[in-house]
Structure 1
Amino acid sequence: MRVIGIDPGLTRCGIGVVDVAPNRRATLVYVGVVRTPPAMALEERLREIGDGIDAIIAEFAPQQLALERVFAQNNVSTVMGTAQASGVAMYVAARHGIPVTLHTPTEVKLAITGYGGAEKKQVGAMVARVLGLAEAPKPADAADACALAICGAWKSGPGFAAAPVPAGLGVRDAAPASSRSTGLTPAQEAWRSAEKSAGARRLNL
């Protein structure tokens, strides 16, 4: 499966394209950032972002788009810009007939590191490890986009396969202790707990 991940933003919109094999092995196809200056008119910034995403989709033909789910923040202007960039990404995907999946930052961190509270440095290190890179893509928006693409691909397949956590990241220590008694890896246990919590929230809506 080929998935394009989008980390939406007006100033920097991260884009990552990955190929994921049936055994969940991921390979980097493309990574980059669409940048727009704050002085540019909003409609022009959105057009630039849309054109950038459109060009990547046209060139690499992904089968799915994984997008960060917009959530409330104290900085209203920031979340508004993120939401506007997200809308553009979804519009471009729909125009190409590509399905869109939305993922919260916590979901992505769980998928990549096994711990929903992982720091950006840990996520970047795991993205590099999963993709077989010497270092994490830069800037952080690019690494986040790759993480979204990997998460989207892994969630689309049957079951869940967690990436191995390298020593020194401290991710395993933060995983639920119950994983020792269930036979699941820490990442799988954390993922199962998150899925249960999400299901409970949906039932209460």
Structure 2
Amino acid sequence: MRVLGIDPGLTRCGLGVVEGTVGRPPTLVAVGVARTPAELDPARRLVQIERAVQDWLAEHRPEVVTIERVFAQHNVQTVMGTAQAAGVAMLVAARAGLPVVLHTPSEVKAAITGSGRADKRQVGEMVTRILRLPEAPRPADAADALALAICHLWRGGAAGRYADAVAGASRPTNGYAAAVAAHARGGRKA
């Protein structure tokens, strides 16, 4: 599975693509940061982020996009810009017909380091180890994007397969299964 992780931000939007399968270490496909100038109008900055995400989708062809879930911070301006960038990324991915999955920062940290309270340095170090890189991706937004993608490979992919299995198991596939399902409803037909 190929996953594009996006660490949204109005000034720096981290982008990282990894590829992997269950039971094998993920591999780095690409990593980078889309930067927008602070003096530019916010709407124009969002257009630049939109173009960057479109370019990454076209170039790297991920199967799923995972984005950090925005959470409340003390700085309202930062939260607003982050939420706007996340919304643009979700829109671009949805327009491309790709599934979009949100992961919380603590979920990503726990998946990558084993602790939901890990700091950025620890996340960067573990991303470097997991992907067998010579050095940590810089800036931290790039490492965070890779961490999101890895988290999804390890957690989201398994959760998706589990949900599919549960959904498949709940659908009657033959007469016997339909009879069992009807019995479970008290003998009433669906």
Deviation track 1:178-199 (CA, whole Å, cap 9, x = no partner) reads xxxxxxxxxxxxxxxxxxxxxx
Q: Separation in 1 of the partners of 2:22 and 2:153?
A: 10
Deviation track 1:52-94 (CA, whole Å, cap 9, x = no partner) reads 0100101110001110000111100000000000000000000
SS of the residue corresponding to residue 10 of structure 1 reads coil
Match of 2:89 in 1: 89
Percentage of matched positions with identical amino acids: 62
Match of 2:130 in 1: 130
Q: Separation in 2 of the partners of 1:140 and 1:117?
A: 16
Amino acid at match of 1:147: A
Match of 2:178 in 1: none
2:55 matches 1:48: no
2:73 matches 1:73: yes
Match of 2:7 in 1: 7
SS of the residue corresponding to residue 6 of structure 1 reads strand
* Higher gyration radius (CA): 2
Match of 1:174 in 2: none
CA contact (8 A) 1:6 1:67 kept: yes
Q: How many residue pairs align between the two structures?
A: 159
RMSD: 1.0
Displacement after TM superposition at 1:23 (Å): 1.3
Deviation track 1:14-41 (CA, whole Å, cap 9, x = no partner) reads 0000001231411000000000011111
Deviation track 1:124-176 (CA, whole Å, cap 9, x = no partner) reads 000000101011100000000000010011113337xxxxxxxxxxxxxxxxx
Q: Separation in 1 of the partners of 2:105 and 2:37?
A: 25
CA contact (8 A) 1:124 1:136 kept: yes
Structure 2 residues not aligned, in runs of 5+: 160-190
Match of 1:187 in 2: none
Amino acid at match of 1:18: V
TM-score of the superposed pair, with normalisation by structure 1: 0.76
After TM superposition, the runs of 4+ consecutive aligned structure 1 residues lying more than 4 A away are none
Question: Equivalences for 1:1-205 in 2 at 5 Å?
Answer: 1-158=1-158
Q: Separation in 2 of the partners of 1:40 and 1:54?
A: 20
Q: Separation in 2 of the partners of 1:22 and 1:84?
A: 33
Q: Separation in 2 of the partners of 1:79 and 1:119?
A: 19
Q: Separation in 2 of the partners of 1:83 and 1:114?
A: 26
Q: Separation in 2 of the partners of 1:58 and 1:122?
A: 31
Deviation track 1:85-128 (CA, whole Å, cap 9, x = no partner) reads 00000000001111111111100000001011111111100000
CA contact (8 A) 1:6 1:148 kept: yes
SS of the residue corresponding to residue 5 of structure 1 reads strand
Match of 1:183 in 2: none
CA contact (8 A) 1:24 1:154 kept: no
